[in-house]
Structure 1
Amino acid sequence: MCLLGESTKQSDISRSRVWFFQGKKIMLYTERAHFYHRYKIHGIQNLIIYSLPERKEFYPEIVNMLEGSHSMNCTVLFSRFDLLRLERIVGSAPGQTDGDIR
């Protein structure tokens, strides 16, 4: 398993990114790491988002990392308590969307 967090040393981050691209199965990438560093992760096949991001622009940035994968699969876990976060991403009216997801 690879870890990319906001306090992970640069040498460990570089090693983790290479291992993941070469076939490591699981990478834990935190929202705070994305906030501070905005890494572009290559080789994602299955993306599982545990809890919607605080900032709506993070959702399309992270989901668009699937681009170029042979098998694109994204699962987002959230509860009814995440309604405000969900509205920030998809809007509140039917057909309304704020995200730029390809």
Structure 2
Amino acid sequence: MAKKDIFSARRLFTEGKRKIMLCTERAHFYHRFKNIRGVKNLIMYSHPERKEFYPEIANLLDGSENPLCTALFSRLDRSRLERIVGTTWANRMVFSTKPVFVFCY
């Protein structure tokens, strides 16, 4: 993706003309955005391969009012989840009957 296209997409999002922005782990790897103005709700449909990307991506919400970050996972994501929350919590989360887990930082 050309820099011009990235700038245009970010501008549309910041101005509120677009509601959803899809940002891949690959895009984050190459561009490392510090924040994207206008982000209020971040949904991760797959955990990052590199554990250090999780806080970097979650910090895109920095400066937003009432930010919300949702990370979806299944039992098949256990190894990726382990890298982020550790083995004990990953096992609890994967084998729990609870449908939602809340972490505050």
What TM-score do the two structures reach when normalised by structure 2? 0.78
How far apart, CA to CA, are the structure 2 residues paired with 1:12 and 1:85?
A: 31
Q: Give, in whole Å, the separation in 1 of the partners of 2:3 and 2:59.
A: 24
Match of 2:85 in 1: 90
Moved more, 66-75 or 55-64: 66-75
Question: In structure 2, which of residues 10, 15, 40 is the aligned counterpart of residue 17 of structure 1?
Answer: 10
Q: Which consecutive residues of structure 1, in runs of 5 or more, have no partner in the other structure?
A: 1-7, 95-100
Secondary structure in structure 2 of the residue aligned to 1:53: coil
Please say which structure displays the higher CA radius of gyration. Answer: 2
Instruction: Write the letter of the residue equivalent to 2:27.
Output: A
Q: Flag as ranges the 4+ runs of structure 1 deviating above 4 A.
A: none
Query: How many percent of aligned residue pairs carry the same amino acid?
Result: 61
In the alignment, what sits opposite 1:32?
A: 26
For residue 71 of structure 1, report the CA deviation from its aligned partner.
2.0
SS of the residue 1:29 aligns to: coil
Compute the RMSD of aligned alpha carbons.
1.4
User: Helix, strand or coil: the match of 1:74?
Assistant: strand
Count how many residue pairs are aligned between Structure 1 and Structure 2: 89
- The Cα shift of 1:76 comes to 0.8
- For structure 2, the 5+ residue unaligned runs are 90-103
For 2:33 and 2:3, the matched residues in 1 are separated by: 12
Residue 58 of structure 1 corresponds to 53
Task: Say whether residues 1:69 and 2:64 are aligned partners.
Answer: yes
